[in-house]
């Protein structure tokens, strides 16, 4: 068991996500940076989808209530066991009574860090997942951030886990968390509602991550993007920003007004009536989610075939890392 002594900024339970309910208004949620999350589980010998703790910028203080093995992956953060600093991306033994604490790491990138534990977290599933959805109304901890006094149940430590203590990820396999990133997107959906100049401005200019960005959506500020001159269809309202309500995929790029772009992330709404220019490809959603406020983004258009190729490359990289551990 883990007991939360101090909550930090925001800590939640997350796994790979909740699928099959988006059409009912329940988004997938899941780890904001699935690549870092999966690497932590692989390093421990866990299945890649077992639940872990996701922390945001300022980590919690946690009392360990059972002997087990953990690692810390994702965005750089200073990690301490009983006030002794320990490395990230390495399996660490923790004992009953130990205190895990964190310190904000200045002059680095990234937002989300993961505390992975041998065997994972055993909190009861809701709709086949242990992922927290903060806008939901689930029982237990799965619709709220963790607070002081909360007790997190852990699964049984895997056999042989303590033999993996000290095992670490190769430096070349650790992802980077830059504040200047390139994001790829498949254009389409309702991009015909935007002028050619607007599309060109979107793809050839830099965008800044707004401070109001979160797990629901990232807000981006940049150049003006003009809507095409057309008659809004019946049922969409009178604004050029509106279309008849449509389903949004995770990663949808919305244009609610000419001065702002919104990209939906794991907790995003399943549909609405805003013009959508396209969708960020799934491998790049991890990179986008880890972009701190005021980070610089550039968008690049790719085909569906190129997007699928990049997804296969990501899967192959995970498999190669697993085989080399």
The residue behind tokens 């401005």 is 201
Read off φ and ψ for residue 52, nearest 5 degrees.
-140, 180
Q: What is the mean pLDDT of the chain?
A: 92
- Residue 195 has what pLDDT? 87
Beta strand 92-94 with 2-6: parallel, antiparallel or unpaired? unpaired
List the chain domain ranges. Answer: 2-173, 180-320
Confidence grade of residue 310 (pLDDT, cut at 50, 70, 90): very high
The mean per-residue pLDDT over the stretch 3-18 comes to 96
Helix (H/G/I), strand (E/B), else coil: 300:
strand
CB 45 within 8 A of CB 118: yes
Q: What CATH number labels 180-320?
A: 2.40.100.10
Helix (H/G/I), strand (E/B), else coil: 210:
coil
The mean per-residue pLDDT over the stretch 128-138 comes to 92
Q: Report the C-alpha gap between 91 and 160 in whole angstroms.
A: 13
Q: Report the C-alpha gap between 256 and 254 in whole angstroms.
A: 6
CB 297 within 8 A of CB 200: no
Is residue 198 within a helix (H) or strand (E), and if so which, with residue range? helix 196-204
Token pair, residue 149, equals: 């006094």
Backbone CA torsion sign across 147, 149, 154, 160 = positive
CA dihedral 298, 216, 78, 101 (to 10 degrees): 180
- Residue 208 has what pLDDT? 96
Is pLDDT of 248 > 90? no
Percent helix, percent strand, percent coil in the chain, to nearest 5? 20, 30, 50
Q: What is the DSSP string of 212-253?
A: T--SSEEEEE-S--PBP---PPTTS-S-TTEEEEEEPPTTEE
Least confident of 183-187, 230-234, 297-301: 230-234
The mean per-residue pLDDT over the stretch 265-294 comes to 91
Is pLDDT of 102 > 90? yes
- Residue 233 has what pLDDT? 65
Q: What is the pLDDT of residues 157-167, one digit of tens each?
A: 999 999 999 99
Token pair, residue 243, equals: 């279309």
Angle at CA 56, nearest 5°, toward 126 and 247? 50
Burial, 247: exposed, middle or buried (Cβ in 10 Å; 0-12, 13-18, 19+)?
exposed
Q: What is the pLDDT of residues 177-226, one digit of tens each?
A: 999 999 999 998 777 788 889 899 999 999 999 999 999 999 999 998 88
Q: Cα–chain-centroid distance for residue 118?
A: 21
- Residue 264 has what pLDDT? 96
Helix (H/G/I), strand (E/B), else coil: 317:
helix
Percentage above 70 pLDDT, the chain:
95
**Distant-in-sequence, close-in-space partners of 18: CB < 8 Å, separation ≥ 6:** 26, 27, 28, 29, 30, 126, 127, 128, 129, 131, 133
């Amino acid at each position: 068991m883990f007991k939360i002594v101090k909550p930090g900024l925001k800590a939640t339970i997350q796994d790979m996500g909740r699928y099959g309910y988006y059409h009912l208004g329940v988004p997938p949620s899941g780890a904001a940076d699935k690549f870092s999350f999966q690497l932590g589980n692989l390093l421990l010998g866990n299945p890649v989808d077992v639940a872990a703790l996701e922390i945001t910028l300022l980590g919690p203080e946690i009392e360990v209530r059972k002997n087990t093995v953990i690692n810390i992956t994702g965005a750089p953060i200073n990690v301490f066991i009983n006030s002794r600093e320990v490395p990230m991306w390495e399996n660490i033994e923790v004992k009953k009574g130990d205190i895990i604490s964190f310190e904000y790491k200045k002059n680095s990138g990234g937002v989300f860090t993961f505390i992975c534990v041998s065997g994972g977290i055993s909190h009861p599933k809701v709709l086949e997942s242990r992922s927290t959805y903060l806008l939901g109304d689930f029982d237990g901890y799965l619709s709220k951030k963790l607070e002081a006094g909360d007790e997190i149940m852990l699964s049984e430590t895997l056999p042989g886990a303590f033999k993996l203590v000290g095992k670490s990820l190769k430096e070349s396999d650790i992802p980077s968390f830059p504040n200047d990133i390139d994001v790829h997107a498949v254009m389409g959906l309702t991009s015909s509602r935007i002028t050619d100049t607007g599309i060109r401005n979107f793809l050839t200019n830099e965008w800044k991550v707004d401070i109001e960005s979160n797990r629901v959506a990232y807000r981006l500020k940049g150049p003006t993007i003009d809507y095409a001159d057309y008659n809004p269809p019946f049922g969409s309202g009178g604004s050029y920003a509106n279309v008849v309500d449509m389903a949004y995929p995770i990663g949808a790029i919305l244009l609610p007004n000419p001065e702002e772009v919104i990209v939906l992330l794991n907790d995003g709404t399943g549909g609405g009536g805003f013009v959508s220019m396209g969708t960020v490809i799934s491998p790049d959603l991890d990179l986008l989610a880890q972009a701190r406020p005021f980070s610089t983004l550039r968008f690049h258009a790719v085909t569906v075939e190129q997007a699928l190729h990049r997804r296969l490359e990501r899967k192959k990289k995970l498999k190669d890392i697993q085989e080399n551990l």
